[in-house]
Amino acid sequence: MPFEINEQVFKRQTTVNLRMQQETVTDDATGTQAGGLPVRLIPHREYPRVVYFHPTKLFWEKEHRNDKFELVFVEKIPTEHDTKLVHNQEELEQALAEGWVKEPYIAKPLPDPKAKIYARK
């Protein structure tokens, strides 16, 4: 779980022993029991949120050419999702209506070039 320093309690605490463990305290406490660093849980925030636009193709092809501009190699590169940051519920609903989704895109593996060589009938 993510923690952050509880600055309100840290200002009220007279001494801090950094050798001691961090202690989770409430905002109205005057310090920690063992003198360690006072921390609190970082609350989960819904916004800002990232939405994703998934690609339609598994990969894109990049052509590599030599100094005579002859095609030497065609590299297949997996595609990635496009991202957008939304800051409130209205922006999220608008983005979802445009085709953006909440789940990230997990790239599928590229096709195996040897698969057709050893395919069984």
Strand partners, 61: 76
Rg (CA), the chain: 26
The tokens for 101 are 């989704």
Q: Among candidates 109, 108, 100, 111, which has minimal Cα distance to 54? A: 100
Cβ-in-10-Å burial (0-12, 13-18, 19+) of 38 comes to buried
Positions of the chain with pLDDT under 50: none
pTM value is 0.55
Q: DSSP 3-state helix, strand, coil percentages of the chain (rounded to 5)?
A: 15, 30, 60
pLDDT tens-digit profile of 8-37?
A: 888 888 888 888 888 888 888 888 888 888
